[in-house]
């Protein structure tokens, strides 16, 4: 992609200051930018670079006031971060392909849109539906009865088990598994276990993104559901019959046990553990490495620690228990003095 600063400003609805004819062909960090790139200033800690950058243009907020003379072309926008996100999508857009590659196995009674693409060495089971503009890459396995919506991106190595439903505009990154069996086993008198059949499915609503090597288990009965707009990082484990609300974000290495219901607009940090059969209120914010062992009933609260406490309560407690070795030492000294 190559575009003039003037056209780029028009594209993002920005106000141009400087040479609108300079050509831009890539985005760059402001401290590393070279000629031909566009950088951005969203964090004022990086302001010094705007006076020395080699970038051809810089995105800044409309209310940015320079403290020194600036030689670079500026494009003023309402929201720098949102504009950067939009431009990264434009510069990084992959070529949209269509058709079915030769070395692909397609089952019976499938409905595949003409505008969809399926790459080599992908296996598609019977009765699969694939929507308009879907991009299914190489070495993907799609089980029977799966439904994939429009404009879905499925990267190499993804496994989608039978009867799962993938909504429009979802992104599934390499080697994630959608619909593997839930962890269901019934103990027997002799100490062994019999497997409980997992006959449900997984439903990803529209605009869900699942990171590499994450797994979402199918429900024992019914559905494991990830509501629209939710974003899951890499290496996340979602157990059977979990439901996650709309526009929730979850960072890497988090695990959620079976039948837990996570609300909408939640933010869950990395390496969080959540027990099964509880409810997490809408807007809950859970710090990294926290352990949630009971329902969180109050909306928009912050939580920290394991077992998790309200954020400020944890910080107050931490300020005390980190001093325990010195307090013990002082107590022993006082005991000896009293003896």
Q: Please identify which residue in the block is written with the tokens 């964090």.
A: 43
Q: Rounded to an integer, what distance in angstroms lies between the CA atom of residue 301 and that of residue 267? A: 11
Report whether 276 contacts 294 (CB < 8 A).
Answer: no
Report whether 196 contacts 178 (CB < 8 A).
Answer: no
Token readout for 2 is 């190559």
Q: How many CA atoms lie within 13 A of 240 on its CB side?
A: 17
- Sequential DSSP letters for 164-225: -EE-TT-EE-TT-EEEEPP--EEE-TTS-EEEPP---EEEE-TT-EE-TT-EEEPPSSSEEE
Catalytic residue among 25, 173, 240, 277: 240
- Sequential DSSP letters for 73-93: EEEEES-HHHHHHHHHHHHTP
Identify whether 25 is a catalytic site residue.
no
Number of other residues whose CB lies within 10 A of the CB of residue 100: 17
Token readout for 13 is 């609805």
- Using alpha carbons, select from 171, 169, 199, 172 the residue that is nearest to residue 184: 199
Token readout for 338 is 């009293």
What Cα–Cα distance (Å) separates residue 46 from each residue in 31, 61, 186, 211, 303? 8, 13, 58, 30, 31
For the chain, count helices (H), then strands (E).
Answer: 5, 40
Token readout for 308 is 């998790």
Hey, is 243 helix, strand or coil? Answer: strand
Enzyme catalytic residues:
240
């Amino acid at each position: 992609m190559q575009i003039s600063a003037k056209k780029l400003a028009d594209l993002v609805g920005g106000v141009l200051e400087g040479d609108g004819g300079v050509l831009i062909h890539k985005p760059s960090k402001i401290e590393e930018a070279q000629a031909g790139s566009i950088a951005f200033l969203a964090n004022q800690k990086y302001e010094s670079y705007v006076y020395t950058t080699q970038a051809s243009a810089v995105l800044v907020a409309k209310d940015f006031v320079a403290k020194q003379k600036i030689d670079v072309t500026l494009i003023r926008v309402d929201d720098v971060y949102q504009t950067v996100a939009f431009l990264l999508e434009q510069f990084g857009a992959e070529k949209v392909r269509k058709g079915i590659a030769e070395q692909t196995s397609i089952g019976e009674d499938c409905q595949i849109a003409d505008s969809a693409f399926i790459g080599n060495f992908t296996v598609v089971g019977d009765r699969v539906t694939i929507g308009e503009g879907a991009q299914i890459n190489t070495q993907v396995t799609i089980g029977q009865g799966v439904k994939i919506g429009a404009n879905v991106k499925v990267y190499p190595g993804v496994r989608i088990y039978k009867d799962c439903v993938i909504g429009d505009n979802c992104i599934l990154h390499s080697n994630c598994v959608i619909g593997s069996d839930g962890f269901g086993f019934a103990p027997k008198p002799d100490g062994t276990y019999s497997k409980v059949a997992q006959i449900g499915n997984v439903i990803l609503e529209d605009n869900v993104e699942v990171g590499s090597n994450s797994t979402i288990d199918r429900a024992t009965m019914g559905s494991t559901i990830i509501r629209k707009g939710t974003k899951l990082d890499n290496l996340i484990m979602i157990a059977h019959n979990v439901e996650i609300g709309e526009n929730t974000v979850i960072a890497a290495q988090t695990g959620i046990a079976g039948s837990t219901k996570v609300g909408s607009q939640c933010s869950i940090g990395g390496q969080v553990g959540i027990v099964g059969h509880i409810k997490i209120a809408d807007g809950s914010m859970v710090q990294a490495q926290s352990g949630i062992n009971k329902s969180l009933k109050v909306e928009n609260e912050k939580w920290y620690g394991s077992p998790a406490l309200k954020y400020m309560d944890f910080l107050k407690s931490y300020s005390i228990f980190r001093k325990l070795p010195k307090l013990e030492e002082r107590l022993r000294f006082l005991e000896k003095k009293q003896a």
